[in-house]
Structure 1
């Protein structure tokens, strides 16, 4: 049974903490409306005219969304997917579906039809909430071309563009159905939610190439991002430009949920366009921008950059790549940030594990990812599980309330990731200094980060392997000045096939999200292998880096 939203809850395990004000995300929504009232909650600048919602209006729209979903047949414990860019409708949709008792399954806006269909099928999402026309994509047509899963019972268009794909209804039609749902029924749904209930299933790829659904609870999510918001210093006066996509754990949890907790105003951007970002910072008096290091470098390098246009900036949180000390200094001196922090997290640990503290110096912020958040342990271990001392490199292990409940319906992969003692094996290599500050030095899973998006070679290799003329393929990440890292694919053609690297890239653009598409394709006779037949990725990485 839920605890009242405005009083501390009882500890029930799995992340619930006695001083949390909320038993669930929907309880947080109601508390935010009560506390922040007519202050601006969301400002969406994407349309012809800005959409501005205060906290009370946000709750009203969330309640209406929830009642519409209840009328559409959504039951507690169901999964509902969102395939849309950052926008006010996304905020209402996620909070509405959770108020109906469902769990979120977000889809990457760069997905192609096959990628989306796979996650919809494996999550058995009952409904899909989506848009048409984002970046020229017709998501419903893409999904239908790939094969709409039988388990998907309906599609709701969050924005009415005048077209009506088969089997889809508009948001207005969904909301009209909810008029018949009494307030008491919705209140009962919200009251029944417990901290141990599932809040979201976020799919993340790994070494096998098959996306895995990370199951997380309301309590763990709320505790993690209350601590995150407190540590970074987010406050009600802040106006938060949310560039990180909502389909990613950071955009959704460190964005939407952290603002709900603190009263900060959300200003979502659907894509990162540097001119649009500068305009938004100036017009909306933005004070908070998180993002990968490349984002801040792009702002600094833009010809329209003028310190006077961004003089409201106060707080930045970055990570996801190496952060030069010079960039931290430039962010403070040229962009005017009072506070610049770095952090480390992964979806399997609720998106946050370590955070630098506001009193840390530029060297610490640039060269480490901070220390563990309260209630979370971080150790470094060798391949046999032995704990290592300060500055000794090994695998980063994490234990605490933030560790996922499981991979969705995948006990084998769950057991591989989380050992019997509760330690999450991250696959990242790092060191801890004597103060407990974490430095990430490598990734055992070969993941690379393209403009803030995690790219997994095994998944890209699997997608490229579907090309009829490709016999073998290996993908590595290499540094890139603009994007941070990009992919390079080494391809062995099938016998008799004539392959061209540019043609492979063109094919890839049609079959995978754009950040997964290799920047360069090299056609080779054979992949380098060790005695066990494993591809020698380090040789390929050296070759890709040298350009030979």
Structure 2
């Protein structure tokens, strides 16, 4: 391993056990009174998490969940979610989160394709059972504290533990399947995002990989997950970081900018914070410098996908330029290749489609052999939908999704390159670029921009001048759309599909 020891600390529990239930039981014995989760005024220890999950497991089993069947969990981020997540695995079933922001069509698709005998839902969820047993959120309190306890299932490392559904931006969601062994092996890729008995602020949707694939990691390190309030608020988040003595925290760049400004004005410091994560997008160098100055911590960047939740990451020792322009180097046990349209390796420095090989990657899509075969190449290589190239130091530089690239006048334009330059402009708070069809020239670029100050927004001319100064002139966007906010999908990522729809409706005809 060529990484600094400080970046890759060792877990406090030996993770070499067959299944998640064994690790949970070890934590309940080793540090029973340590907090596992904090959500507002509710707190739960590792012993309580294990005991209440066994009671919930009994309720799931009574309603038809059996080893190898899926249990769907359609709850908001909460301790209830964490208990259901563990309960399913304790009885040998498969935990599968469902993002509560999904639409009716997407939810129905997941319910049908999963064949789940049980689904856990919010009280107000508009769901009509298709024969599944349902547990409503209000039922969980009695189940957790008064119900009978299940006997843990004796499983095997290659048993499926978790199914994570893709966000569905390119079609209906697919279920990425992970075994206990997949998730156990991912522990060694945690790096600075895990530390013995750390206190971590959790703000990503629990239904997706940021939580669903990290249960082994949390328990092996004995970490406390503090669940962030929704909706996000800078004042509340800063207070939470301080009061809960958070040591690891993630936020999007615009949120970090607000936290830095608020802390500087109030002359507040966060003495317990050790590392920050720039979620969903890299932070500009000046913001990284501000976080380092005000909070005395580095900001790091991670890159992964639903099908392989551990791929690359920057290190705490990397420069601000590396943190901003790249997503770092492959994690331990992870191999990457960049391929052309014929699935041949591109030359170093050229853009190619990213393929990954790792013991942490999914074993396949849930009951979908055809789609599984489409993404797995020979020798275990998993094909992503992302494009990128390696810099001279071996860091991966993303160039966007394979379907996002557009061709302007015969030249390839990768929106991520343009977006990265726009992020450096002080008058821009957030930006996204899409390509749309146009006569003669083929496609043109449309930049959607959120001004930092509504009274002094950037102009198309200033945006084009900035891009032309940094990149090839054909990469400068042809049209500028000012907006109060960028649309996001169920995973809180910028919804490029919606932006393309909006751009197409503008009837741009420039040739």
Shorter-chain TM-score bucket reads 0.7 to 0.9
Look up the SS of the partner of 1:68 in the other structure. Answer: helix
Cross-structure match for 1:32: 27
Cross-structure match for 1:381: 339
Alignment of 1:414 with 2:411, yes or no, is: no
Equivalent residues in 2 for 1:279-298, closer than 5 Å: 279-298=239-258
Cross-structure match for 1:217: 179
Mapped contact 2:64–2:133 kept (Cα < 8 A): no
| Aligned mate of 1:326, from 257, 277, 286 | 286
Mapped contact 1:307–1:335 kept (Cα < 8 A): no
Q: TM-score scaled to structure 2, two decimals?
A: 0.75
Shift of residue 102 of structure 1? 1.0
Mapped contact 2:157–2:180 kept (Cα < 8 A): yes
1:69-115 Cα distance to aligned partner (Å, 9 max, x none): 22323100010111111111111110111111111221112123332
| Aligned mate of 2:206, from 229, 241, 246 | 246
Alignment of 1:345 with 2:329, yes or no, is: no
- d(CA) in 2 for partners of 1:22, 1:292: 35
| Aligned mate of 2:64, from 44, 63, 73 | 73
Equivalent residues in 2 for 1:381-460, closer than 5 Å: 381-446=339-404
Alignment of 1:155 with 2:134, yes or no, is: yes
- d(CA) in 2 for partners of 1:359, 1:70: 48
Equivalent residues in 2 for 1:161-176, closer than 5 Å: 170-172=139-141, 174=143
Shift of residue 219 of structure 1? 0.9
Alignment of 1:308 with 2:308, yes or no, is: no
- d(CA) in 2 for partners of 1:317, 1:219: 26
1:138-165 Cα distance to aligned partner (Å, 9 max, x none): 21xx223xxx333xx211123x2xxxxx
- d(CA) in 2 for partners of 1:284, 1:21: 31
The alignment covers a number of residue pairs equal to 430
Look up the SS of the partner of 2:47 in the other structure. Answer: helix
Structure 2 CA distance for partners of 1:233 and 1:171, relative to 1, 3 Å: closer
Shift of residue 214 of structure 1? 0.8
- d(CA) in 2 for partners of 1:205, 1:58: 28
Cross-structure match for 1:227: 188
Look up the SS of the partner of 1:357 in the other structure. Answer: coil
Look up the SS of the partner of 1:327 in the other structure. Answer: helix
Shift of residue 123 of structure 1? 1.1
- d(CA) in 2 for partners of 1:479, 1:418: 37
Cross-structure match for 2:38: 43
Cross-structure match for 1:487: none
Mapped contact 1:112–1:512 kept (Cα < 8 A): no
* Structure 1 stretches lacking a partner, 5+ long: 1-18, 133-137, 161-169, 458-474, 483-507, 529-538, 544-548
Q: TM-score scaled to structure 1, two decimals?
A: 0.70
Equivalent residues in 2 for 1:118-137, closer than 5 Å: 118-132=109-123
Shift of residue 292 of structure 1? 3.0
Alignment of 1:317 with 2:266, yes or no, is: no
Structure 2 CA distance for partners of 1:513 and 1:441, relative to 1, 3 Å: closer
* Structure 2 stretches lacking a partner, 5+ long: 1-13, 406-414, 420-431, 435-444, 453-486
